[in-house]
Amino acid sequence: RGFASVTFVQDVGIAGTWRQIRLNASLDNGPGQIPGGYEEIIWDDLTKRHVVVTDPVTGDPVTGNFTSLYTNTTLPAGDYLVTGQVLPELADEWPFPYLYGDDTEPENVRVMHRMNIDGTLFVPGTNPVYYFDKTINNGDGTFGNWATLFHADALTNAGLNYNEVSAIKPYPTNWDGNPTSLTGEAALLRPFISTIGNNWSIALVNGGNTNLPPCGAVDPADPNSAVRCEIVPEMNTGEGFRVTGTVSNRTLAPWVDDPITLQIDIDGNGLFIGQQETQFTSKPTQACSTCDAVYDYNFTWLSQYPAKTYGTRVDFTNSAYYFTGNTSTLSPTGAYINITVIGTTDFQMTSTPRLYRNTSTVIQAKLVDNSLQPV
């Protein structure tokens, strides 16, 4: 007669307790108070009745409002087979002794956990980063294109001339690292990018984030192009990056129980699948019991990686059992960023030519990139 709630409160692993609360419309709340409230109950197998749980210290019934008594089910993430049962033999009042029990059909249930993964990427500052500037006039009646931002101090310390390295880059800006120097559309980058020494520090995009870098079409010339909200760093073959971040659960408590992996979308299909695309896997670590749960990975673009843009993410190894975001918007977990890799080229002789006096010959060569793919 009324509302009842049953939840499983996990202790360690699959061990835990079932907690039940029910609405009691006649609950006495004292003189002058409207009756009714919630109470925690437990099954008494001796009397075949639910009884109200009492406080072990005061002996008073455990009652209160819904918020104070209700708990979320904390089953471990995974796939479960759930079967409902009606067991009349548990009760002795009429008509239960005269009824037969029954089971429901087994139902598959996937338990998922709300998690948060945040990250920061550190890359060398001698190459620019790309961002979308919606104010750029493309000269064809449309506005919006990708612009480049250079790290002024990193160029100076590397002996590079800004005017020379930026000559072939679209809509370049030489930034001194001061956030207030980012003006116009570039001012939207302030929460997401900074300079640390000779490196860029770039915030990764999380699926649950609502505050994002400027958004724009990947290819502004293509009306069907995908739209992304991101900062895209440029790196050279042979260079490496570092990615660090934190992992927490829905209450923002540090989470170290599940392994985290760094993955590179090598084939460019938008998926992160297989051993080849999984670079590192380990559980987050804590320096102290109250410290954040952190991960820290380093990766180098070796010569076998062709020049192109690679999707990069940090996520749970079993990401299908986790989600992120608030209660109205649920998204896949993971921290993401795209990285553009600039490769090298080389001429390779396909045959050894022989030259004789008063004769000519044809020299055959092929142009390949650093991954030995023909260009």
Whether the Cβ atoms of residue 150 and residue 176 lie closer than 8 Å to each other = no
Hey, what are 194's tokens? Answer: 């900074």
CA distance 185 to 149: 12
pLDDT above 90 (res 64): no
pLDDT band of residue 30 (cuts 50, 70, 90) is confident
**How many Å apart are CA 61 and CA 39, to the nearest integer?**
8
Q: What is the mean pLDDT of residues 283-302?
A: 96
- pLDDT surpassing 90 at residue 261: yes
pLDDT category, 327, cuts 50, 70, 90?
low
In angstroms, the Cα distances linking 168 to 91, 132, 171, 234, 341 are 82, 17, 9, 14, 16
- Count the Cβ atoms, other than its own, within 10 Å of residue 301: 21
Q: Distance (Å, rounded) from C-alpha 63 to C-alpha 59?
A: 12
Compare 339 and 61 and report the one with higher pLDDT.
339
Alpha carbons 80 and 108: distance in angstroms, whole number: 6
- pLDDT band (50, 70, 90) for residue 69: confident
Residue 1 has a pLDDT of 45
pLDDT confidence tier of residue 13, bands split at 50, 70 and 90: low
197-239: pLDDT as tens digits:
999 999 999 877 888 999 999 999 998 999 999 999 999 999 9
Residues 122-165 have pLDDT tens digits of: 999 999 999 999 999 999 989 999 999 999 999 999 999 999 99
pLDDT greater than 90 at residue 71: no
- Give me the domains of the chain, ranges plus CATH numbers: 4-111 (no CATH), 116-343 (2.60.40.1930), 345-375 (no CATH)
Over 80: is that where the pLDDT of 356 sits?
Answer: yes
Q: Number of C-alpha atoms within 13 angstroms, CB side, residue 360?
A: 1
Query: What average pLDDT does the structure give for the chain?
Result: 91
Answer yes or no: is pLDDT of 27 > 80. yes
In this prediction, residue 365 carries a pLDDT of 87
Count the Cβ atoms, other than its own, within 10 Å of residue 100.
7
Q: Regarding predicted confidence, which is higher, 368 or 65?
A: 368
Say which residue, 288 or 77, is predicted with more confidence.
288
Q: Of 188-202, 247-261, 329-343, where does the model show the most confidence?
A: 188-202
Q: Is the pLDDT of residue 330 over 80?
A: no
**87 vs 190: which has the higher pLDDT:** 190
The residue that leads in pLDDT, 35 or 6, is 35
- Residue 14 pLDDT more than 90? no
- Determine the pLDDT at residue 25: 87
- What pLDDT is attached to residue 328? 65
Instruction: State mean pLDDT over 238-260.
Output: 94
Q: Is 156 helix (H, G, I), strand (E, B) or coil?
A: helix
Query: For the chain, give me the number of helices (H) and strands (E)?
Result: 3, 29
Q: Kindly report, residue by residue over 105-119, the tens digit of the pLDDT.
A: 999 999 888 899 999
